[in-house]
Structure 1
Amino acid sequence: MSLLFDFVADKATKTIYITREFAADIDLVWDAFTKAEILDQWYAPKPLQARTKEMDFREGGRWLYAMVSAGNTVGYSLVEFLKIQPKTTFSTKNTFSDENGNSIGSASSLVKHTFKAGAEVTTLYVEKVFDDLATLEKLATMGFKEGTAAGFANLDEYFLTLVTHK
């Protein structure tokens, strides 16, 4: 099955729009984006690994995680949960941080994840609005699109392991 992956960077609005289909039901896809033990299995592009330090998935809660390579921390990020409508959408504020969740620099983004169940796939829509164009452009040069695609491919593999273990 060919799964849709659409990635558009709109410099005029400082926004990245992502559409991605997953061959899994809404419950599995929602859990994959909201539970630390699953996020840690797929979120980072290989050979990096995501390691959750703190997860409190609720409005006002946060997810503090590190990207790790060969035992060395590459960097921390903080995701603050602003609004949650279970199995439908959640909105966050994302910033680079230190290991305690203190913001590093002033760059941040507001992100909305929307999930839509289908007959054979669940579609994820992501809208990531940056404070400034320079941050969007910096992430683009750091391989944000490729890293996102690689992470989603990891998630596809995770879903396949669930099918083969049934």
Structure 2
Amino acid sequence: MSTAETLTVETPAAREIVLTREFAAPRALVYAAYTRPELLRRWFGPHGHQLVECEIDLVVGGNWRYVVQAPDASTMTIRGRFREIVEAERLVSIETNDDCEAETGTETLSTLTFDERDGRTTLTNTLIFATQEVRDMMLELGMQHGMGQGYERLDTTLAQVQA
């Protein structure tokens, strides 16, 4: 499998997950796919899932909210607040999954960085959880597999947008 098709998952610290993936697209486009609802709806979530609600207030202090519907019609709500925005370079937010919050009662610090080289973008998503137990629970639930499938869908979306 080539680098462009591989999601790297690392746990460099007790509360941290770092996901890295390369895309065959300029970083401005990958950034747009993360910040424009019309593009997010095309790729966000695992195979068979659909982003049925997508709200983004792309300003520091602004909120975002996604509702993802599974093939069985169940839904998952993810929401957050932007702490830092550097266009086409970096997005930092505090986020929570409403469906897991009852179990964990915690928020996660998410930092997305977009690094371009030769027209290809390396996306790094660093997640810092409140506790190691929450991090381990997310890995056990297969969060990395769902994100990997979402990134496969993002590959397809980026190719279509560039065509």
Give the structure-1-normalised TM-score: 0.87
Q: 1:135 to 1:53 in 2, by over 3 A?
A: same
Q: Distance in 1 between matches of 2:125 and 2:70?
A: 26
Q: 2:98 corresponds to which residue?
A: 97
Distance 2:160 2:114 in 1: 22
2:7 corresponding residue in structure 1: 5
Superposed counterparts of 1:153-164, under 5 Å: 153-164=152-163
Alpha carbons 1:42, 1:152 under 8 Å: kept: yes
Is there any run of 5+ residues in structure 1 with no aligned partner, and where? none
Q: Distance in 2 between matches of 1:53 and 1:17?
A: 24
SS in structure 1 opposite 2:123?
strand
Greater relative contact order: 1 or 2 (C-alpha under 8 angstroms, separation 6 or more)?
Answer: 2
Q: CA RMSD in A?
A: 1.9
Q: How many residues align?
A: 159
Aligned residue for 1:119?
A: 118
Identity %: 26
Q: Structure 1: which 4+ aligned runs deviate by more than 6 Å?
A: none
Between structures 1 and 2, the one with greater helix share: 2
1:131 to partner: Cα distance? 0.2
User: What is the match of residue 46 of structure 1?
Assistant: 47
Match of 1:149 in 2: 148
More strand by share: 1
Instruction: State which drifts further: 67-76 or 112-121.
Output: 67-76
1:162 offset after TM fit, Å?
2.2
Distance 1:6 1:71, change over 3 A: closer
